[in-house]
Amino acid sequence: MDIKVRTNISNEYQNIEICINAPERTEEVQRLENELQAKATKNLKQIVGMQDNDIFLINTSDIIMFFSEDKNNFCKTKDGIYKIKEKLYYLEEVLPIKDFIRISNSAIVNINHVKCFNTSIIGRIVVKFKDGSEENVSKRKTSEIMKFLKERSE
């Protein structure tokens, strides 16, 4: 289906408003609406995950972390690992900013599932989750994580 994008700039608008016009509510329209909604509110509540050809609707609050491996993206909950379609840079845009933080090029973590930060034997900072698993923190991201935690505690 062809999608036309039209932008109207006028003083009469108080806020940015996105309106979808379609002949019927198709799957694509629904997906577009969800994506725009999530992007606008930064509050993605559910995500579709795949495991052994089965599809699951997962609450983002249950997700421990999102990560990429071998050009594929996954999310991890206490029940297992699910393959997802969304890219990490997109998830960064739509996930609740108070709960999720990118800790490296390949991982976004849910801070509510973090137990503590620690150092590995080679002097790298690692994040320890409540389920006992660990993930490396990129050196470049430590200042952003610190800022995120400070803002969160305010």
Partner 1 sequence: MKLKEMFKGFSLKKMLLTILCTVIVSVFVSATMTFVRDFNTYTAYESVAGLHENHEKFKEVVSQYDQEVIQGYYDNVEQQKEEWEKDIPTRALTEILLKRFESENRVHVYVTSVVMGVALGIVIYVIAIQKANIKQAVIELLIAFAILIAIIILVNHIYMIILGHFTQNAFETIIDFGGAELYYLEDNTLIIVYVVAAVILYVGNLIKQKMLANKLNKELNNK
Judged by DSSP in three states, 116 sits in strand
Strands 80-84 and 54-59: unpaired
Q: How far is CA 154 from CA 84, 147, 149, 150, 151, in A?
A: 33, 11, 9, 6, 5
Q: How far is the CB of 126 from partner 1 (least distance, A)?
A: 8
Q: Cα–Cα distance between 53 and 49 in angstroms, integer?
A: 10
Task: Pick from 61, 72, 105, 118 the residue near partner 1 by CB under 8 A.
Answer: 118
Residues 108/66, Cβ–Cβ less than 8 Å: yes
- Residue 150 binds partner 1, judged by CB under 8 A: yes
Q: Which span sits near partner 1 by CB under 8 A: 6-14, 43-51, 78-86, 108-116?
A: 108-116
Q: Which span sits near partner 1 by CB under 8 A: 12-20, 72-80, 81-89, 115-123?
A: 115-123
Task: Pick from 21, 116, 132, 140 the residue near partner 1 by CB under 8 A.
Answer: 116
Interface ranges with partner 1 (CB under 8 A): 111, 114, 116-119, 121-125, 139, 142, 145-146, 149-150, 152-153
